[in-house]
Amino acid sequence: MNLQPFKSVVKNFKAVFLDSYGVIKNYNGLIDGVQETIDYIRSENIVVRILTNDASRSRTQQAESFYNAGLRGIQKEEIITSGMMAKHFLEQKILAGKIAYLGTENSAHYILQSGLEHIAVRDIDLDDLDEIAAFVFLDDEGFDWNTDISKTVNLLRHKNIPVIVANSDKLYPVSKRHVSIATGGIAQLVESMLSKKFIHFGKPDSQMFMYAFEQLNKTGSYNKKDILMVGDTLHTDILGGNKFGLKTTLVLSGNTEIENAEMQINSTGIIPDFICKSIVE
Amino acid sequence: MNLQPFKSVVKNFKAVFLDSYGVIKNYNGLIDGVQETIDYIRSENIVVRILTNDASRSRTQQAESFYNAGLRGIQKEEIITSGMMAKHFLEQKILAGKIAYLGTENSAHYILQSGLEHIAVRDIDLDDLDEIAAFVFLDDEGFDWNTDISKTVNLLRHKNIPVIVANSDKLYPVSKRHVSIATGGIAQLVESMLSKKFIHFGKPDSQMFMYAFEQLNKTGSYNKKDILMVGDTLHTDILGGNKFGLKTTLVLSGNTEIENAEMQINSTGIIPDFICKSIVE
Amino acid sequence: MNLQPFKSVVKNFKAVFLDSYGVIKNYNGLIDGVQETIDYIRSENIVVRILTNDASRSRTQQAESFYNAGLRGIQKEEIITSGMMAKHFLEQKILAGKIAYLGTENSAHYILQSGLEHIAVRDIDLDDLDEIAAFVFLDDEGFDWNTDISKTVNLLRHKNIPVIVANSDKLYPVSKRHVSIATGGIAQLVESMLSKKFIHFGKPDSQMFMYAFEQLNKTGSYNKKDILMVGDTLHTDILGGNKFGLKTTLVLSGNTEIENAEMQINSTGIIPDFICKSIVE
Amino acid sequence: MNLQPFKSVVKNFKAVFLDSYGVIKNYNGLIDGVQETIDYIRSENIVVRILTNDASRSRTQQAESFYNAGLRGIQKEEIITSGMMAKHFLEQKILAGKIAYLGTENSAHYILQSGLEHIAVRDIDLDDLDEIAAFVFLDDEGFDWNTDISKTVNLLRHKNIPVIVANSDKLYPVSKRHVSIATGGIAQLVESMLSKKFIHFGKPDSQMFMYAFEQLNKTGSYNKKDILMVGDTLHTDILGGNKFGLKTTLVLSGNTEIENAEMQINSTGIIPDFICKSIVE
């Protein structure tokens, strides 16, 4: 496995798309030295976008969170979240009724600000579903797993409505050795119980890539060959980047560990163009 | 769809295997009139066995439960549970160490009485897994879904041990219109998170059929053609019975509703030999 | 189920995306009356694009095929194929080596005209895979299923390269009652043998929608709300259209039969905005 | 990974169940030295049964095949095939009509000798399916993959009958480095096209284990603890043996290669009790 210094890779591109978790930050907060890398990228006039499978917070909240963690110079306009994609879908397709959700009040607040009323699963009366027009899996927090997941199954057995998964990630790391089940994992359980397929947002789907690419081309002229996608997860970042036609870099500072990287690349067939230990090395 | 009276079907057999939930009882307790049917079966000298995908209670507890609900004449020896199969497996294969479990203390108590110590997921220290020799999914109650399912994922990521699913049912009905996610559903979520396949017990697997069949033949001479399997679920009772070589009867008093029965038979390809509204009609 | 006349639906949009097979033509050739509908759409100044999961022929060949079947006025620039998306990916990502393929010589010729050499599976020496840089599933014809599918499995077991599925459709109709296994079905068999996930092109993925949408906006100003997607298949046309944020119309002239439509919508959870018998009714 | 000499393992048991392919023979014929191991087992008065996922030949033909390859002393009564299990099922469940099949004439001949007529897919008239009462996947040879797999899909779309997979293996080795798609792989493709689950026979299902165990106990008294299952495949031999409650030995002379064994055990969670290089070492 040929590990390359990140700077020697990124300097050949006009733009870089960075995943957030596992690339810029991890369970400890910012990855050490990341400010210096971001500054280097800026100094080389390489445009940055952050593409994150996160539907729990708005881009404004995410920009604040980078700032509060000590990372300077990330603008909210540079952040693209899977939640934004889900929000966009709902605005286009759901024009009346209430939107039911599983997640925190905060996540519901920012995603569902499309003029429609939203209602948490816990507050739904299963005998009165007439007004429910769509369902969104937003976050793995903000509800009681003991009762609300089964309640979601019952709701969706009795009411045939569009179901949106705003973040398809199945697991996220909470410490060096431990993970937690994420929104996409819960959604998959419910899909399996119902034998239905929901509408999933987030990498590897191309919507976030497309959004970032269109935005970029409003401010200049970029071909796909000019853009490097950087991520720590083969199935989301690298597969999505490859499929959209970008060059891809796998970093080993998150989900993919250095001792398993080669085996996972071989067993999945998802092949990054470059591999780096992290964006700071 | 040709519905037949249950008595006209069962009277042609020397033995009958009955599923419990959806056949003898439902969320309300005993199905009305079931005593009369059991009495009829006895009067025709047809041997009865009850095959249930339940790992939460011992056969003694289940026999008591029938008695307490008002059903007379069911002996504990006539009851075969998927929990008994899991218990048997553990006794054969796990000879030292502790058995970790997700479920109630009661379910752990009766299944794991094989001389080995058992420990609930909540009480496990993830940094000290040396003694853990096996893991069992026992019940959907007795733990906190918010924390213990993710904790199970972490345990099984770090320790490669046999994992047993003592009841593979994914859903069970809690009222006429509502269901709850069962042990098998939770196990499937964890399997999917880990990309592993666990060892599943319960119908449609042939172990319970085999156990009942062997037992029967200690008291007389029975061919598979002499036995009728009766159940409310195509994927467990009917598939399992068909595969073991028994004649099968689907009843419409539980998971399979009369208005969907034909469509589900066609779409699954699991074909019962007979269909009855219930065992009391 | 509320069936609407197609003209009364389409007249409210500025652009219409039509699937080809099952919408414009079927196993018999053109659907009767389709010229009149296309003429009506033109007369209303509604822009047309044809989005087809077909990787066996170039857009030029497809335009000729419409012409030869008697349909006038379809320009090759109005046709977008999943093969074009695969071709684009290969041009971006595979810069050296040979591209192996399963399909006809013709399909290979037009997709793989990117300067790289292509080689049919039948001509590959499994002991000399050094130069093979990528693999493409192009068509269900042009090779011997008895030998070349297993040969593909062996090739991909020994050489870890990007694998592209240029058309993800699993089945296509060959007569009123009969279907044939399509490229996507064969690819899925090989994926399953290898436990790998390939890179799939074609609806429901958003790439073709995105391409058509970008093209449209070079000639005018179109919002997603201005565009109607019309197709005969829930899992590709309707799911893809819904996810991209377009209004969708299911037509019952192809894969989805009128007697099963409602059941399939309910069981899949993929909900079209409109349902029409066909585009000519 | 702790490799043990096979003799030191097997000598502690009263009976041994051996897989055939990858254990006794491989693509080259008999594994060198296997006669000596069989003779040793006999000399220790350990009872032998051969459990093979093969439905293409009768046990008599398989015994002859061992003899012709030079292995002496294997009786046909010691051989248990998945084809025997499928045959038994058909005899119990299908009492009238014709049985359609995909496979060789020979395989059909021996499995379907239950008094019912059998008909190859190639000879079926899709417009006259009235008499077809069941379908069996028997072998990967004896038909034309280009036409007969799609024809099978059409048959099973139009006629809802029990479908039996007489051998669930998905791949088999044809040389040191190459594999071929087996019956179970073709069946899985058709299942996926139809979204149905067929009735599968063969390891890891417990039927063959149960049959061998019952047979054994007609000639003596054997507990499960007295029996060692030996196989080269984790998902069939080892999972099936574990689940039936036997001790299991993985050998590295077939599907599982020495360099991948530990990784595969970890990634599947299927844990053999012992690991040996082969039964001759």
Residue B207 has pLDDT above 90, yes or no: no
Which region, left, alpha or beta, applies to residue D22 given φ > 0 means left and ψ of -120 to 50 means alpha? left
Inter-chain residue contact B210 with D210, CB threshold 8 Å: yes
Packing angle, helices A183-194 and A145-158, rounded to 10: 40
Chain D residue with Cα closest to C195: D170
pLDDT at C114: 65
pLDDT at residue A114, as a whole number: 65
Classify strands D132-137 and D163-165 as parallel, antiparallel or unpaired: parallel
Please give the residue of chain A at the shortest CA–CA distance from B189.
A189
Mean pLDDT of C124-147: 95
What pLDDT shows up at residue D245? 87
Q: Which of C183, C173, C14, C161 is nearest to C82 (CA)?
A: C183
The more confident residue out of D197 and B248 is B248
A84 chain-C contacts, CB cut-off 8 A: none
Where does residue C48 fall: left (phi above 0), alpha (psi -120 to 50 degrees), or beta otherwise?
Answer: beta
Which of D145, D153, D170 lies closest to C179 in CB terms? Answer: D153
Average pLDDT over residues D181-202: 92
The share of chain B scoring above pLDDT 90, in percent, equals 71
**The pLDDT value given to residue B250:** 98
Q: Do A157 and B146 touch (CB under 8 A)?
A: no
SS3 for chain A is CCECCHHHHHCCCCEEEECCECCCEECCEECCCHHHHHHHHHHCCCEEEEEECCCCCCHHHHHHHHHHHCCCCCCHHHEEEHHHHHHHHHHHHCCCCEEEEECCHHHHHHHCCCCCEEEEHHHCCCCCCCCEEEEEECCCCCCCHHHHHHHHHHHHHHCCCCEEECCCCCEEECCCCCEEECHHHHHHHHHHHHCCCCEECCCCCCHHHHHHHHHHCCCCCCCHHHEEEEECCHHHHHHHHHHHCCEEEEECCCCCCCCCHHHHHHHHCCCCCEEECCCCC
Residue D244 · residue D205 · CB < 8 Å: no
The structure tokens listed for A74 are 């990330």
Which residues of A have a CB under 8 Å from any CB of C?
Answer: 88-89, 92-93, 156, 160-163, 194-199, 205-207, 210, 224-225, 235, 239, 242-243, 245-246, 265-271
Quick one: pLDDT at residue D102? 96
pLDDT in tens, B14-48: 999 999 999 999 988 999 999 999 999 999 999 99
pLDDT at D202: 92
Q: Cβ–Cβ of B153/A171 closer than 8 Å?
A: yes
Contacts of C94 in chain A (CB under 8 A): none
In order along its 281 residues, chain A shows pLDDT tens digits of 899 999 999 999 999 999 999 999 998 899 999 999 999 999 999 999 999 999 889 999 999 999 999 999 999 999 999 999 999 888 888 888 999 999 999 889 877 666 788 999 999 999 999 999 999 999 999 999 999 999 999 999 989 888 999 998 998 888 888 999 999 999 999 999 998 888 899 999 888 999 999 899 999 999 999 999 999 999 999 999 998 889 999 999 998 989 889 988 877 778 899 999 999 99
Task: Verify whether the Cβ–Cβ distance A150 to B180 is below 8 Å.
Answer: yes
The pLDDT, as a whole number, for residue D92 is 80
- Interface test mutation site (partner B, options D84, D90, D92, D209, max chain B beta carbons within 10 A): D92
> Distance between CA atoms of B186 and B52, rounded to whole angstroms?
19
Residue D43 vs residue A162, higher pLDDT: D43
How much is the average pLDDT of B161-172?
Answer: 91
Please tell me the distance from the alpha carbon of residue D276 to that of residue D6, in angstroms, as a whole number: 6
Confidence of residue D114 (pLDDT cuts 50, 70, 90): low
pLDDT band at D43 (very low <50, low <70, confident <90, very high): very high
Q: Cβ contact (<8 Å) for A269 and C195?
A: no
Q: Residue B114 above 70 pLDDT?
A: no
- Phi/psi region, residue A269 (left: phi>0; alpha: psi -120 to 50; beta: rest), is left
Band of the pLDDT at C90, cuts 50, 70, 90?
A: confident
Instruction: Please answer whether residues D82 and D201 qualify as being in contact, where contact means their C-beta atoms are separated by less than 8 angstroms.
Output: yes
Q: For C199, which of A196, A243, A267 is closest by C-beta distance?
A: A243
- Give the C:D interface size as CB pairs under 8 Å: 62
Average pLDDT estimate for D77-90: 92
Coil, strand or helix at B275? strand
Nearest by CB to B181, which of A144, A150, A158?
A: A150
The sign of the torsion formed by the CA atoms of B218, B222, B223, B225 equals negative
Residue B116 has pLDDT above 90, yes or no: no
User: Chain B interface residues facing chain D, Cβ-Cβ under 8 Å?
Assistant: 88-89, 92-93, 156, 160-163, 194-199, 205-207, 210, 224-225, 235, 239, 242-243, 245-246, 265-271
Nearest 5°: the CA angle C168, C173, C174 is 125
Residue C101: pLDDT band with limits 50, 70, 90: very high
State how far residue D185 is from chain C, nearest Cα, in angstroms. 7
Least confident interval from A110-124, D56-70, D152-166: A110-124
The CA–CA distances, whole Å, from A227 to A16, A38, A212, A223, A246 equal: 6, 16, 11, 7, 6
Mean pLDDT of D229-256: 93
Q: Is the pLDDT of residue C269 over 80?
A: no
Question: Cβ–Cβ of C179/D157 closer than 8 Å?
Answer: yes
Is pLDDT above 70 for C155? Answer: yes
Task: For residue C224, give how far its alpha carbon lies from the nearest alpha carbon of chain D (Å).
Answer: 33
Residue B160 with chain D: CB contacts under 8 Å: 265-266, 269, 271
Nearest to B242 by CA among B215, B274, B278: B274
Give the single-character DSSP code of B31: P
Span D39-59, average pLDDT: 95
